[in-house]
Homo-oligomer: A and B are copies of this chain.
Amino acid sequence: MADTNIPYSLNSKKVAEATWRLLEERGVHTEEIAELVMVLQKKYYPDLSMEECIENVEAVLSKREVQNAVLTGIQLDILAEQGKLLSPLQELLANDESLYGVDEILAFSIVNVYGSIGFTNYGYIDKLKPGVLERLNDKSEGIVNTFLDDIVGAIAAAASSRIAHRKQEDHEIEEGEPTAPEQE
């Protein structure tokens, strides 16, 4: 009740925490997303460690644009699971209709956070569905992950793009070359 007197003000910490919590509640652990990053990147960087993969996934998840997409997509999955969406959106989502592309659109807003070089990684992993993506794609359990599987693949693709940018910077510093770091 008292809430009605408190004027709205964005609280970025709440948004960030809800993002992490919802992913966990839907059964996706940061480590599993990091494993997808490893699948995508190990052939380019044989020394890549899981710690680096996790660190890069966490950086992706710190972005407001990513948090907005995660919160919106998971919300729609949950509502579809509860049968609370209007028909025919309810059926489109509950059946992961292939002509429904809003899940890919949200995924793309995530991939884009580190630029267009992540587009192919996203498509590749979304088709192959290694690791956690295979589980998320299992439709037998009455669970709706129409948005979540694309979102998780997109986070892994964005983290891979971030690694590519960082490794270039590291390489230039190592070689003693002049470098021009990207600002946040």
Contacts and interface: CB of A to CB of B under 8 A. Distances in A.
A39 B58 CA distance: 35
Interface string A66-103: 00110110011011000011111101101101111110
A15 B87 CA distance: 9
Given A86-B18, A112-B112, A172-B12, A164 B98 contact: yes
Contact of A88 (B14, B69, B78, B108): B14
Copies in the complex: 4
A115 B101 contact: yes
A22 B86 CA distance: 10
Interface string A37-74: 00000000000000000000011001111001101100
Contact of A84 (B65, B84, B88): B84
Contacts of A180: 12-13, 15-17, 62
Interface string A126-143: 111000000000000000
Given A62-B180, A71-B92, A102-B106, 11 more contacts: A11-B172, A65-B101, A68-B102, A69-B102, A75-B85, A75-B89, A84-B84, A112-B112, A120-B122, A123-B127, A183-B184
